[in-house]
Amino acid sequence: MTDNAPRRAPDLAAFAAITDAVEAGAGLPEILRSAARALDASLILIDRSATVLAVAARSPADERSLMRDTDDVTTVELKVAESPVGQLRMRTREGTPDGALLRLVTTLIASEVERVRAPARASEEAAASFQRAVLSRRIEDRDDLTARGK
């Protein structure tokens, strides 16, 4: 399909499968597989610390080429409220998906990454806050220090 060729109409049922997966709490792998079907693409989801969270590729070779970021791979930065949460690497099978639909799908995926990772980040922030308080001697009461440490 060339850029001048008419685009085929999107399969809205395929997009509904993404929202169904999100609503059901199916997890990032199932959401990514649904997105791959809807976009007719191979996808790899990477969080902001460069950890691969999910893969929806046709083969291990396809997955490796997505990781290498070859010429036919499109990288979409995922953000929630202007904060980066990761990236989606994509290789489509039949041309570029409609921009609005791609943005809808990537926004859903970004939101789900943020939702899944939020508890871990909150726990890390609480631990860092406790360490700062201990090192700056802001917690003076020994019992309070012990309770917060636990």
Is 51 in contact with 8 (CB distance < 8 Å)?
no
Sorted by sequence, the CB contacts under 8 Å of residue 149 that are 6+ apart come out as 130
To the nearest 10°, the Cα dihedral for 113, 115, 120, 121?
90
pLDDT at residue 13 above 90?
no
Q: For 68-90, write each residue's pLDDT tens digit.
A: 877 889 999 999 988 899 999 99
Tokens at residue 64, please? 């490796």
pLDDT of residue 121: 63
pLDDT in tens, 19-39: 888 888 888 999 999 999 989
Tell me if the pTM is above 0.75.
no
